[in-house]
Amino acid sequence: MSQLVVVTGGAGFVGSHLCDRLIAAGQRVIALDDFSTGHPSHVAHLEMQPRFELREHDVAGAWPLGLNGVSRIFNLACPASPAYYQHHPVQTTLTSAVGMWQVLEAAHESGARVLQASTSEVYGDPQVHPQAESYHGHVNPIGPRACYDEGKRVAETLCFGYHLERGVEVRVARLFNSYGPRLRSGDGRVVSNFIVQALRGEPLTIYGNGEQTRSFCYVDDTVDGLLRMMESDIEGPINIGNPIEHTVLDLAERVLRLTGSRSRLERRPLPPDDPKRRCPDISRAKRHLQWEPKVSLDDGLRETISYFRRELGMSSRMAA
């Protein structure tokens, strides 16, 4: 049966892919976005769909009118680009905290279920490895990443506060390093940075010694996890990420190989509070959602490289 679903941040990277999947499943979708980091072009192909609507809206503002009958709200409205949120710490914090409050108030009034797209950044620079949901994190509350890390942490607190005190149905998913088409160049995320630098023949920027690790989850797998989480019977939090760990150096070498680029590596100092190791324990996701990622890193990088070739107007022979 068709439901009315709201996706905040619906013109963003993960949000736009989520809208695709919801429309394909026969749902009615209203995407809300203030276009600070998302872009209407990400969902332009859905404009002719009668079951899809895009509205410009700041999630921290009053809930828009005309959303009666909403049964599901996916809250993905928050800048995830380090390059953006470190230059807009106030907006980022308010988007996470006040935006979450606005969403939960709307859900309390309408009876909708809310899924909060949280982040592995709630674990900070972790002292436990891999990171399980029971780990409470190691976060600097006044560092350059705090606006994002702490904003997401308080959003989780609000979710469970509304659930316990006011009976709002909530689901909390912690996303780990999602990547794929519709990432933005220059957004400070390592996958898009490396691919764009490689395709342009620029040096690949390695911060620190390059031995710090990340886990990379292709966006199709991420969206599948979010959809399963929304319809599950567990509030969470649940990690959604790839448990295969890669060093930043390994990622750089893969990007160079897959693009055919002759770019060199350029080392710079490691930024403050940058996590040294990041890898999810996905035992809960396997048990409660029957979910685990399926797309290999090389296959996902190929799709992402093809996207950036098109965005940059390059042919396959222009990478070198």
Catalytic residue ranges: 148
The pair of three-digit structure tokens given for residue 45, joined into one six-digit string: 């192909």
How many whole angstroms separate alpha carbon 218 and alpha carbon 177?
A: 9
How many whole angstroms separate alpha carbon 216 and alpha carbon 239?
A: 13
